[in-house]
Every structure is written in structure tokens, then in C-alpha cells.
Chains A and B, each alone.
Chain A
Amino acid sequence: MQVTVVGGGPAGLYASTLLKKERPDWEITVYERDPADNTYGWGVVFSDATLSNLREADTKTHERITDAFVRWDPIDIHLEGESIRCGGHTFAGIMRSELLTILQERAAEVGVELRHGDEIDEGDVEELVDESDLLIGADGLNSTVRTTYEAAFRPSVSMGDAKFAWFGTEKPFDVFTFVFRENEHGLWRVHAYPGRMSTFIVECTEATWEAAGMDEKSEDEALAYVEDLFADHLDGHELRSKLYAWRNFPVVECGSWSMGEDVVLLGDAAHTAHFSIGSGTKLALEDAISLLEGVREHGDDVRSALNHYEKERRPRVEGLQDAAERSQRYFENVERYWDLPPEQFAYNLLTRSGRISYDSLKLRDVGYADGYDRWFETQASEATTEPLAARPPLHQPLSLRETTIDNRLVGSRPPSHEATDGRPADGYVDDLRERAESGPGLLLPDPIAVNATGRITPGTPGLYDDAHESTWADLVETVHAETDAAIGAQLFHAGRRGATRPRERGLDRPLPPDERWEVYAPSATPYAPGGPEPTAMDDSDCERVRDAFVRATERADAAGFDYLQLHAGHGYLLSSFLSPLTNDRDDEYGGSLENRMRYPLSVFDAVRDVWPDEKPLGVCLQATDWNLQGLKTRESLQVARELADRECDLLSIVAGQATVRERPRYDPTVLTDFTETYRNESGLPALSTSYVTTYDDVNTLVGSGRADLCTFNG
């Protein structure tokens, strides 16, 4: 059996060592374009030092690598004037050159043929594939093997937004260190970690990079600039560079990691993960182990071995890539969090990738985590002294105007259709009462229609006559009497999404023609194909609906609700004014974003006028229409800022359903990401409507400043 490995980095060397050990009869040759003693690169970091699978795969390599490891476990975060340490994050680092030497020696020991200085181009690859029974493409980020067979591997390479450069320094850093520093050009981040020589990565946004004139600076000038900027952390040591360059991080993903009968990609050639979670090398080594297991399982049946490898590895690698992507997005958008208090900034940084949660921080460093709880409680309770012991963030109160929400859980339920002519059914009211008893800080029933044409289905509850008001008033009274929960009302008008069948059997399916009512919208375009054509609202319609909102608001106050929220999302009436997909008016309510938001904002203002000053008023806002021609997040953020100027008290972020033509991303974290953006960009408290099922999630989201309240489906 002839095995050819293109690329003599960690993936290629380790894979050939393992395969040769397992099958001494196989002939294995590694081609590497660089000379054997090339010392390109600084330290590489393993985010998990145990690497027990490494020990099992080849004890000798494991011993030699771990002997050379520098280990540490805390992370230090330096902000202006603040320094925060959190322990328990076991890392191990090794200089890249040392790792390569160990792997080269070990490969040679077991009888792998190493050919350094051999550059392989695309023609060579095809020739090598013909000659080999297995060809391993372990040739890194810019893999020639991958490019040769693009059609089969279906790679996608997307470039990150931020600029970064790797440096080394003699200054000893004893732990993983993040430094954030703002100067006249922008906010700079440093990722530094220990090693025989410390690694010092500098990162910033493209805007900062340009403002600092980095594109025009020579290597020496750039080094001087960075040394000067971080002089207090470098303690007089200088920075060194190898192959000086500012780059954007490329994320490599492939549709397939193997091709035909006998070609496979390993390590960076197949997948990359952002350097900020320090796992690229770990992934490469584990790829090699997984390939070995495939060979153990299937022997000379190479195709099956490759399947085994991909089947085992892909879910793990993709999970890690997800986390890396989140971490990358965090570092590309640090400016957004810069206004958080330092304690929360650090907590947010530690939990950025989604792999470390509130509970896991407790396990890693209970001192740090408890300290954070105490700080959080002090903030939330506006106390002057820190308590000795604190409860987790989800149990902390949130004050909005004069309403205090006892904890951060929001009890909600999907839209019901158990009302008769707008009056909620008894069973529905009982269900809400039960939900209130389960202990949410805020109970927020599904949207309530401001008039009969604003209902979604015939059974949508309303708040437009005395019977409705008294039913809600009874519920509010019971909830207040029996629980500590605050209770809110969410007012809406369904717009062109009205007059549909009950939702049990699908969304937006119009009622049979004889059961429909007239529906209203900014423009006369039906929501669903074949659905009823809405009446384009004229001035008097606009005024009438605004009045309906105002009257429902007055009734909500009379019924005793503690909080009021206007629904301007999901393609309901208010959001359909905002979206260019659903608003083609040519009056003052259509056209530019400024015009499109005018009507919803006028409703907000009218409602704020009659809603008592001491009670909070919030808005449920659409983050995106999931349609290239639709409302953009950038525009919607503009609406959020307008709302912030109008002293809106809470934002609740939703996405999609503006039209049936959409390309939503259904990912459990997508709404959380939006919520976090809106909260930190607009400065308004935010309610996350994401699919959250554990207290740990809630503590993490609230603790890290990604949300202030969470709907809870536990």
C-alpha cells in the first residue's frame, strides 16, 4: 500500500506516524515544501491539555509533546485600568517549531519517508493520486490538494472582517492574556500567551487598521506603533515578526473531506477554526487519530476508512467551528461591548463562544464566578455594598420605570385562538394563571388584538370591549394576588396576516372566503399567494387603527397590566409599514426608512401619551425580514435607536415572517445573537425570545449582558 501525504505540518506528520505504526507494511511518504528546520510561526495552543486520546494513539509523541508543554490555567483580561483573572481554563502551549521537530523525529523513527523542500503543484497532485493507494491532503489553509479537486471537496472560504498580525516577544506572559486598548484610531485587542517566547497577536477592525495607517506603515513602523501602544504590557521588551503581514482570518469549510476512492483532507486543509479558541492544532491531531481509527476498522478498504473518518469527525469539527465562529464574531465586534462595565465585559468575553456557560464557570473558578454573582446582584439591586453571597443573575430583579420584575424569566405562550369575539376563553386564562404560578418575573401573554380586524384567527384574544377588559382585569388581579409575577400585555394589529385559520394546522392559511373579514395593510398585497387582498390604509384608516391602539392601551391600564409591549414584528401591521417588501406607499408613510418608520413611531408616541409614566412601555421589533430586498438589520437598528430616543423601556427582538418569501436561518442561537446586538447597540434593555430551555442558558445570557430578560420554555 502506497500512502502519500502532501504537507508536513502537524496533521500530515501525525497521521503518517499513526498509520505507519498501525501498518508497518505500508509505504508512507510526506512531501513538504519548506525545509525541515523551518521555524515559521510562534506558539500553538491546545485548549484542552488532557489530550488523553493523543496518549492512546501514540504514547511517545504524547510524552514528548507534553514534556515540552507550557501549561497554565487562568485567563487574564486587561481593560483600561482594570485587570480581571478567571481560572480553570486548562491550556497548554508549545512552540510550533518544537512541535514540528517532535513530530518529524517520531515520523522518521517509525519509518515514514520525509521529503522536505518538495513543492507540490496541481499537476503533481494528480500524478501522486494515480501512484498512491491513499493520498492525504494535509497541506494547510491554502491546500493544493483541495484546489485541485474543488468540484469534489466543494470548499467555501469566507474571510473574517478583522485584521490581525502575529508577533513574538521575550516578555514572559504567564497565562492566556487578553488586552483591550483604545487609542485615537480605535479599539485594539491583543491575544497573548506563554511559550519559550510569548506569542502576541494584535487584532483590530479594518476601520481602526486604516485609521492607524497600517496599510502604509513599513514593518518597522508597525512594530514601533504596536510596541508603543502596548508599552505597559511589554515591559520594555520588543516585538518580533516573522513573515510580517496583517491578514483577515479565512474560515474554510468543505462539502466533503474525501474524494473518489482514496483522497482525503486533514486539518486546516479541510476546516479552520478562529485562533481565538486555540484549537486548530488540536483538530488536526484529532483528525489524524480518527483516520487511524477508520483504518483500524476497515483495513485496506480505504474508501470505508475515509467514510468512517468523516462520519466520526464531521459533527465534532462542526460543533467546534460553530463555537469558533461565535468567538470570531465576538472579536470582530468588540466595540459593541466596550460600554459594558468591565466586570460584565470580561464575563461576556469568557462566555463568547457558547462553550463556557454560567454553570461551567462555577466549576472552573468558583471564586471568580461567585464574585461575579455578587457584583451582578449589587448592580441589579443598586445596593451600595456587595453582599457576602448572591443569587444567580436570573434571580436578580430588573427595574423598568417603577415596575420591578422579580426575576429574568418571562412566561409566554404562542398565539392562541381560544377566544370568542376577542374574549379569552376560560381555559386560556387558567393556563396563563398556571404559568404565572411557575414563577416567571414577567408573564407576557401572546399578542392581543386592538380591534376585531386586527385578529389573526377568529379565536385571537382582544382588548377592545368591556367584556375583554374585565376578563383581563380578573386575570391580572389573580396573578397579582397569587404570585409575585408582573404581567404585561402585548398589543398588536395583525394587518394582512389577519383572517387566517387556527395555527394548529399551519401558519397563514386564509379562512374560507365566507368566514373572512376585511384585512388592512400599508399596501394592497396579499400575505400568502391566494390569500385575501388587504385594503391599503388611507389616512382615516391609519388614524382609526392608531386610536384603537390608544384605546386598548387605556383598557390595558384599567385592567391593571404592569407592562405594555407593542408588536412591530412578524409581518403584523406595524412591522409591515417598516418593511420595504410590504410597504410601497408614496405618501409620508412610504419610501425612505424615515418615512416607513413614521407611522409605527406615531403609534408608539400616541400610546406613550396615555400609558402611565410610571409603567414601562416596550416594543417587539423585527431584526430582519430574511429577504435580501426586505428590512435590513442596519435599518431596524435605526428604528431601535429612534425608540431609545423616545424612552422606550424594553426591546424584544424577533425575526422573519414579514412575507412568505424568506430564507430564515433556523438556528437555536440566532435570535440571541440579534437580541445581544440590539441591546448593546441601542443601549435599551432587551428581552430574548430565543429558544431557551435551561436556567444555565438564562444565567449565561443575562449575566453576560446579551439579554436582560428571557422567554423560557423549560
Chain B
Amino acid sequence: MQIGIGLPNTLDADRETLLTWAERAEDGPFTSLGVFDRLVYRSTDPLATLAACIGYTEDIQLVTSIVAGPLRNDALLAKRAATVDRLSGGRLTLGLALGARPEDYEAAGVNFDGRGRRFSKQLNSLRESWEDDEIGPEPAREGGPHLLVGGDSDPTFNRVGRYADGYIHGGGPPRAFERKAEQARAAWAESGRPGDPDLWGHGYFALGEDAAERGREYLLDYYAFTGPFAEKIADSLLTTPQEVLQFVRGYADAGCDELLLFPTVADDDQYDRLETLIETEWR
């Protein structure tokens, strides 16, 4: 299993922090850089953020985990993703899911209802744009960026089997990931797709007592729209090296291919702590 680090792009981080983290991650133990997507929030745009990182990095994978697909116009999304893929030399992994926040849809002027059906069509149309020549640019990789689909429902796994290159899990303990990974593998096998689906996971960290409290507050705020469930998410925050390692090992055992660890506090100190931990204890 490889480990990626999330950029603090929903944490109101300044230019300096975002780009330094990206630059350092390139040299550190991390194999990918993740970003979140949220419209009505003090966050930066996921694909634009990754585009900014292109010039500061060489090899590291650039990952959206995740972008709310149906919030966006298919052709525009296809073009932006192809652009990032091309300019980064084929480093984009496009993680897509439905997006669960009605206010984001409202702000974008897009219907919240029926987004599942639109999402399936969108996945097909993204593939089409990347393979055909009408909408440029031609992505760096044949067939377009690596495509991951996230979510929990049976239609999600249908989409993974039908359109994606893999599955990206929405977070939770390793046992929860394991069950979903099994479903993704079964969907893949049943759809008759060659090879195996890529399996990605993600978790939240805030190392140190002070950070833990702030991280918790952030998660409660970020997930406020889920009601009491926000508490559960906040409770799963990894706040000690021990917790992080147990989590990482659990995911590795469950067959995860790449695990993204997202910060909940945008301090350089958080980057340092995670880097040291992963470098010394995991590799």
C-alpha cells in the first residue's frame, strides 16, 4: 500500500502553505497529493489547486478525493481534467462521487434530485471526451486520467464496475473499508472487466492534543450538514501516532492500494509530524 497526503485546501490555508506542502510531499514518503471539493465553503477549487501544484512537483500523483461530479458540466469537467492530466504529464487521478450537500447544488444552480442518474451518464461522457478528439486537449495518458468512483450504495459499485478504474472509499475504520472493498472487487469481477479495481481509502489526522481539538471542530463544521453523524466522523479523527499507525496497518491488511491521509489543521507542524511518522514507522 502507498500513502498519500491531503492538501489543506478546505482549511483556509494560504498559498505558501498549500504549495510548500505540495513541494515537500514530492520529496517525502508520500506518493499522492489529495484535495477535497466543496462549493459553499472557504475552500479552493480542487482541480485549480492541483493545477497550481503541477509546477512545484514532478512525480507525485495528483488526486481529487473527491470531486462532486454531477455538480459540474460534463464537457467542462472533461476539459479541465484532461488539461491537468496533460500539463502534469499524466499524473491526475480523478476521484468522483455524487456529493451529498444540497447547498452546493443550489449554489451551482444544478438539480440535487436525479444526480445519480446524471452521474452515470457523466462518467460515460467523460470517457468519451477523453478518447475522442473533439474536445481537447488530448490527455497525457491514453484514455484519460485514472478514474475512481466513490460512494456507498449499490449503484456506486455498479458505476465502479461499469465505468471506473477503481473505487475510492469515503472514510471510516479499516473494517468498514474491507467490506466495501470486497463489494468493489465483486462488482468488478461480475462486470467482466479485466484486471482488478484500484482501491483507495482515506482518513483524517490531527496530531497533538491542541491540534486534535481544532481538528475536531473543523470536522464538526465541515460535516455539519450530516447532523449527529458529524460527531461520529469527528470521533474517528486520528490524533496520536499510535492511532495513525493502527489505521494505516488496518487499511494495508484490508487490501487498500493507496491511502490518503487528510489534515484537519493547516499547520506546517502537522505536515512534519505525519511525514516523520510515515517515514520512520511505515516504510
Tell me the A residues contacting B by CB distance below 8 Å.
256, 258-260, 303-304, 307-308, 310-311, 315, 413-416, 446, 501, 503-509, 512, 528-529, 570, 654-657, 660, 662-668, 670-671, 689-691, 713
Contacts and interface: CB of A to CB of B under 8 A. Distances in A.
A555 to B, nearest CB: 24
B27 to A, nearest CB: 33
B193 interface: yes
Contacts, number: 106
Contacts of B232: 307, 310-311
Interface in B173-207: 173, 175-176, 179, 182-187, 189-195
Closest 9 CB pairs of A and B: A666-B157, A666-B187, A307-B235, A315-B175, A506-B163, A666-B183, A507-B162, A691-B186, A414-B192
B185 A691 contact: yes
B80 interface: no
B132 interface: yes
A256 B228 contact: yes
Interface string B116-142: 000011011001100110000000000
A304 B219 CA distance: 14
B194 A503 contact: yes
Contacts of A503: 192-194
14 contacts: A303-B231, A307-B232, A308-B235, A311-B235, A414-B192, A414-B193, A505-B144, A508-B162, A509-B127, A662-B158, A663-B154, A664-B158, A666-B187, A691-B186
Given A662-B158, A666-B154, A667-B183, A304 B192 contact: no
Contacts of A315: 173, 175-176, 179
Contacts of B236: 311
B235 A304 contact: yes
Centre residue among B183, B185, B228 by max chain A CB count within 10 A: B228
Contacts of B162: 506-508, 660
A304 B235 CA distance: 7
A505 B143 contact: yes
B69 interface: no
Contacts of A259: 228
A622 to B, nearest CB: 12
Contacts of B150: none
Interface residues of B, number: 42
Contacts of A570: 192
B186 A666 contact: yes
B70 interface: no
B132 A507 contact: no
Contacts of B89: none
Contact of A507 (B143, B193, B235): B193
A657 B228 CA distance: 38
Contacts of A310: 232
Nearest to B156: A666
B208 to A, nearest CB: 19
A241 to B, nearest CB: 41
A304 B173 CA distance: 16
A416 B231 CA distance: 47
A265 to B, nearest CB: 13
B213 to A, nearest CB: 13
Contacts of B120: 660
Given A315-B176, A664-B154, A666-B157, A507 B189 contact: no
A413 B128 CA distance: 26
A565 to B, nearest CB: 15
Contacts of A260: 228
Contacts of A501: 131
A144 B183 CA distance: 35
B192 A415 contact: yes
Contacts of A662: 158
B193 A668 contact: no
B190 A671 contact: yes
A668 to B, nearest CB: 5
B34 interface: no
A666 B158 CA distance: 8
B161 interface: yes
B155 interface: yes
A448 to B, nearest CB: 14
A671 B194 CA distance: 19
A656 B195 CA distance: 20
Nearest to B161: A507
A667 B186 contact: yes
Nearest to A655: B190
B121 A663 contact: no
B186 A505 contact: no
Contact of B182 (A311, A655, A668): A668
Contact of A509 (B124, B165, B179, B185): B124
Contacts of A505: 127, 131, 143-144, 165
Given A311-B236, A315-B173, A667-B183, A654 B190 contact: yes
A123 to B, nearest CB: 24
B132 A512 contact: yes
Given A501-B131, A662-B158, A667-B183, A713 B231 contact: no
Interface string B219-241: 00000000011011001100000
Given A311-B236, A666-B186, A668-B185, A507 B231 contact: no
Contacts of B173: 311, 315
Contacts of B144: 505
Contacts of A413: 194
Given A506-B164, A664-B157, 4 more contacts: A506-B124, A508-B162, A664-B154, A691-B185
A304 B193 contact: no
A532 to B, nearest CB: 14
Contacts of B157: 664, 666
Interface in B65-109: none
A501 B163 CA distance: 12
Contacts of B195: 504
Nearest to A692: B189
A507 B191 contact: yes
Contacts of A512: 132
A404 B166 CA distance: 39
A713 B189 contact: yes
Interface string B228-261: 1101100110000000000000000000000000
B155 A663 contact: yes
Contacts of A414: 189, 192-194
B71 to A, nearest CB: 21
Nearest to A259: B228
A180 B165 CA distance: 49
A307 B231 contact: yes
A142 to B, nearest CB: 24
A303 B132 CA distance: 53
A528 B128 CA distance: 14
A537 B120 CA distance: 30
Nearest to A713: B189
B186 A507 contact: no
A509 B163 CA distance: 9
Contacts of B228: 256, 258-260, 303
A671 B127 CA distance: 30
A446 B189 CA distance: 13
Contact of B186 (A308, A504, A668): A668
B190 A304 contact: no
